[in-house]
Amino acid sequence: MAESPTLKYIETGHKSNQCRFFKMQVFTYHNAYTNSELVEENFDESAIVLSNKNSSYLDIANYLETHITEKV
């Protein structure tokens, strides 16, 4: 997981999207239940999440404001 907020510099008005925080967790199984549990415990409800179209990510939209999927 990586947090990438948009930062705006007051002096210049320049916007920057840089990863600020990373978090990793090792799963024994990669499935919808473990992914949903991880999102529910670690993400704010107003978060916007980008992921691939893996079927194990479908349920995480129930815990977030926006879940965007794209084919990789």
User: Six-digit token pair at 55?
Assistant: 């079927």
Chunk the chain into consecutive blocks of 10 residues (it has 72) and report each block's average pLDDT, rounded to whole numbers. Answer: 75 78 81 87 86 87 88 76
pLDDT, residue 46, reads 87
pLDDT, residue 65, reads 87
pLDDT, residue 53, reads 87
pLDDT, residue 12, reads 85
How far is 62 from 15, CA to CA, in rounded Å?
A: 30
**pTM for this predicted structure:** 0.62
Q: Decide: 71 and 53 in contact? Cβ < 8 Å.
A: yes
Domain ranges for the chain = 2-70
Q: Where are the beta strands (DSSP E) in 1-72?
A: 2-3, 6-8, 15-17, 21-22, 48-52, 66-70
How far is 9 from 57, CA to CA, in rounded Å?
A: 34
